[in-house]
Structure 1
Amino acid sequence: MREPGSTSFTGAIESAGKFGWRVYSEAVRRGLERAERVVVLGDGARWIKNLADIHFPGAIRIIDLYHAREHVSDLCKILFGQDEDRLHKYREKWWKYLDWGMVKKIITEAETQLPCDSETKKEAIKEVTYLSKNRDRMRYAEFRAQGFFVGSGVIEAGCKNIIAQRLKRSGMQWTVKGANAIISLRCMIKSNRFEDYWCDRAA
């Protein structure tokens, strides 16, 4: 459970490299150098991994549980196709395995179900490989026991409430400069730093 006021936001329309420095700066402001443990929670995208390697090399890495479930669901669709009963059976079972951090068990069972068709098999192996490569970042039972978040719901909600609801209204058109000004302002307000921002500028 998050403590009230413990969440802060930062963002902009910019390159991944610049965004990495933005997130790092916010982490430093929040006390990164005093932190006993640092966690990077993401969807497994290569660009996020690269930023974590650069700015948070010693951090604990966690794949967002929702995205992991999507990959398991996609794997079930590939393996079981139109067989709805088997699809639902394995998806529910493997989601439970995922919750327990038993990714190796999912991989082992999936490998016994690989189809004969070469293209379908290739798609299935791609999903199995994703799970295999990210096993260490899917130890959800262990992460929960340590009090870590395993879902990126707060991040997704922030993107929607802070950015999308303001910038994607009907008929709106933005320059990057104008959009970034609004994003910065809304991040400050939602992070309860609006007064601090103006005090810093006055100083």
Structure 2
Amino acid sequence: MSKLDEEIADLKRLYPNATYIGVADGARENWSYLKQHTSGQILDFYHASEYLAGAAEALFPTSKAKRHQWLEDRLHSLKNKRGAAKKILQEIESAELPKKTIALTEKRYKAVSYFTNNHQLMNYHQALKRHWPIGSGVTEAACKTLVKQRLCGSGMRWKATGAEVLLTTRALIQSKGRWEQLWSEFMTGKVEANL
């Protein structure tokens, strides 16, 4: 069992009645992992909106006002209407591109692929009704703060073992109450020194 699996198990023991929701981008490995630990999964709304913005550019390459209006309307529908992801997908697929450049065709293709592969995870209207999160920004910010800022400094190189020890310690220090909990358990013999 990985440390992350252990943390999740500990949280579920502490909060057995909580609803656990997985929010991530479209990478398949995210979903296979999250399905094991969550009762609901939601595709990050902001990732989906980036693909919609690309589709808007492909559909309205010459009119910024039309592009903006179309995007705003589709984002509102995606967030608030049942079945909107499939309808938007069909609209993007069937639309005739006014300019068939390679770049614009690729933007539409990427949006169609993303919505085809992930529309079943875009139930934002239902998530919002249940007060579930629809964005992964908090998690991404934590990763940036905990990992990237510490491990990606100029000239730094890490072996997996050293990075793991450093990140485990950093996570304990930056998580409210966890550092004190570790030392309390260490002093009473409940935890061994090898993190």
Q: TM-score normalised to the size of structure 2? A: 0.78
Which whole-Å CA distance do the structure 2 matches of 1:87 and 1:99 have between them? 18
> Are 2:74 and 1:89 aligned?
no
Q: CA deviation at 1:188?
A: 0.9
Q: CA deviation at 1:160?
A: 1.5
Q: Pick the aligned partner of 1:145 from 113, 126, 129.
A: 129
- State the identity %: 27
Which whole-Å CA distance do the structure 1 matches of 2:17 and 2:8 have between them? 10
Contact map agreement 1:97 1:105 (CA 8 A) in 2: no
Provide the residue aligned with 1:49 in structure 2.
Answer: 31
Q: CA deviation at 1:126?
A: 4.4
Letter of the 2:178 counterpart: R
Alignment of 1:92-171 (within 5 A): 92-101=72-81, 102-115=84-97, 117=100, 124-171=108-155
Contact map agreement 1:41 1:152 (CA 8 A) in 2: yes
SS state at 1:34 partner? coil
Provide the residue aligned with 1:8 in structure 2.
Answer: none
Unpaired stretches in structure 1, ≥5 consecutive residues? 1-17
Which whole-Å CA distance do the structure 2 matches of 1:154 and 1:142 have between them? 21
Q: CA deviation at 1:175?
A: 3.1
SS state at 1:30 partner? helix
Contact map agreement 1:42 1:152 (CA 8 A) in 2: yes
Structure 2 vs 1, CA of residues 79 and 37 (structure 1 numbering), >3 Å: closer, same or farther? Answer: same
Contact map agreement 1:63 1:134 (CA 8 A) in 2: yes
Contact map agreement 2:49 2:75 (CA 8 A) in 1: yes
Which whole-Å CA distance do the structure 2 matches of 1:118 and 1:35 have between them? 53
Contact map agreement 2:51 2:110 (CA 8 A) in 1: no
CA RMSD of aligned residues (A): 2.7
Contact map agreement 1:114 1:124 (CA 8 A) in 2: no
Which whole-Å CA distance do the structure 2 matches of 1:126 and 1:158 have between them? 28
Alignment of 1:22-101 (within 5 A): 22-31=3-12, 34-35=16-17, 37-53=19-35, 55-56=36-37, 59-101=39-81
Contact map agreement 1:44 1:63 (CA 8 A) in 2: yes
Which whole-Å CA distance do the structure 1 matches of 2:129 and 2:34 have between them? 23
Structure 2 vs 1, CA of residues 123 and 170 (structure 1 numbering), >3 Å: closer, same or farther? Answer: closer
Structure 2 vs 1, CA of residues 164 and 125 (structure 1 numbering), >3 Å: closer, same or farther? Answer: closer
Unpaired stretches in structure 2, ≥5 consecutive residues? 190-195
Structure 2 vs 1, CA of residues 36 and 174 (structure 1 numbering), >3 Å: closer, same or farther? Answer: closer
Which whole-Å CA distance do the structure 2 matches of 1:93 and 1:126 have between them? 20
Which whole-Å CA distance do the structure 1 matches of 2:182 and 2:42 have between them? 32
Q: Which has the larger radius of gyration?
A: 2
SS state at 2:132 partner? coil
Q: Pick the aligned partner of 1:194 from 165, 179, 182.
A: 179
Which whole-Å CA distance do the structure 1 matches of 2:147 and 2:70 have between them? 37
